[in-house]
Structure 1
Amino acid sequence: MISKSPSYFFIEAIEDSKVLIMSYNNWQKLKEQNPKWNLLLVKLLEKGYATKEKREREFLLLDAENRYRIYLKEYPTLENRVKQHMIASYLGITPIALSRIRRKMKA
């Protein structure tokens, strides 16, 4: 939004969701009218940065099986709600590799 160019990324809802759509100009006006929106923005950016840093660290330092164990611990309710290929993509592995890890963990 800042550079007024299309995003390279997107978010896909896998369940019914409510989405708020706001133009960048309206967002700027909202922040000008009430400074608490800036505080919210800072909190969201801090959380986003911490999440991104943790994810990058895990990709660099952990193998796929350990990343999967962390995924199961942090998102215990998603295992049965999300398709295997989506979990594999999140972990940076193929669905076949995820199947192997699951099979190994069950043994």
Structure 2
Amino acid sequence: MYNQLVSYINNYSTTPLNDSEIERIKSIFLPKKLRKRQYFLQQGEVCKYLGFVVKGALRQYSVDDRGNEHIIRLSIENWWAGDRESFTMLTPSLYYIDAWEETDLLIATQADLSTLNELPAFIETKNRLDDNHAFALQKRVNATISLSVEERYDELSKTYPEFIQRFPQHIIASYLGITKETLSRVRSKAVKK
């Protein structure tokens, strides 16, 4: 379980973790299992943990006044789960995060993560992840406001094909900000091409 996180950090860093740093990582991150549909975070709670997904799939979403879910993030293996704003600012979350599959996480608190800021590999990984997160968010906003539904689906299927395979149509539709029926039409057109 920890080997996956260590490999992940080493992959994003030019300075590999040494044995004592690996032991420190293992002492900080705690294993957590979630059953399918079990919450990692509920709206109104403060996000106390960030989780590294070892196995499984999660979704982060809000629910509007009419009961419609609006998925803002999907997380699978080697992704992170948590409400960054709530985690950092210690404010109540606007989101729910639940497991879409049986999920194994390695979780850590903000205080615990701050103790890792002495590790060069962790700092470098964190900085690269912050950049990647900002780039992905920018692309997602741009796609939402400037691409057609077909182009958004095509972009998602090229960039994250595992999402299309792992999550059902209604979740993909919500993630794209469209109805299931519209997604069905888009997928039909894509198959015919």
Q: TM-score, normalised by structure 1?
A: 0.82
Which structure features the higher share of strand residues?
2
Q: CA deviation at 1:22?
A: 0.9
Q: Which moved more, 1:78-87 or 1:52-61?
A: 78-87
Q: Which residue of 2 aligns with 1:44?
A: 129
The aligned residue for residue 28 of structure 1 is 114
Q: CA deviation at 1:75?
A: 2.6
Which segment drifts farther, 94-103 or 81-90?
94-103
- Number of the residue aligned with 1:12: 98
Over 3 Å counting, the alpha-carbon distance change for 1:62 and 1:35 in structure 2 is: same
Greater shift after overlay, 95-104 or 85-94? 95-104
* Paired-residue identity, %: 33
Q: Which runs of 5+ in 2 are unaligned?
A: 1-86
**For structure 1, which segment, 44-53 or 5-14, has the greater mean C-alpha deviation from structure 2 after superposition?**
5-14
Query: Where has structure 1 moved over 4 Å in runs of 4 or more?
Result: none
Distance 2:153 2:184 in 1: 11
Asked if 1:70 is matched to 2:127, the reply is no
Q: CA deviation at 1:10?
A: 4.5
Query: Alignment partner of 1:20: what SS?
Result: strand
Alpha-carbon separation, structure 2, partners of 1:11 and 1:53: 22
Match of 1:83 in 2: 168
Counterpart of 1:102? Answer: 187
Which one has more relative contact order, counting CA pairs under 8 Å at least 6 apart? 2
Specify which structure has the higher proportion of helix.
Answer: 1
SS for the counterpart of 1:18 is: strand
Looking at structure 2, the residues matched to 2 and 87 of structure 1 have their Cα atoms a distance apart, in angstroms, of 28
Call closer, same or farther: CA 1:3–1:99 in 2, change over 3 Å.
same
TM-aligned CA distance change 1:2 to 1:81, over 3 Å: closer
The more displaced of 65-74 and 42-51 is: 65-74
Q: Which moved more, 1:94-103 or 1:1-10?
A: 1-10
What 5-or-longer segments of structure 1 have no aligned partner? none
Distance 2:143 2:90 in 1: 32
User: 2 CA distance for matches of 1:104 and 1:93?
Assistant: 16
1 CA distance for matches of 2:186 and 2:148?
A: 11
Give the AA of the match of 1:57. N
CA distance in 2, matches of 1:6, 1:29: 24
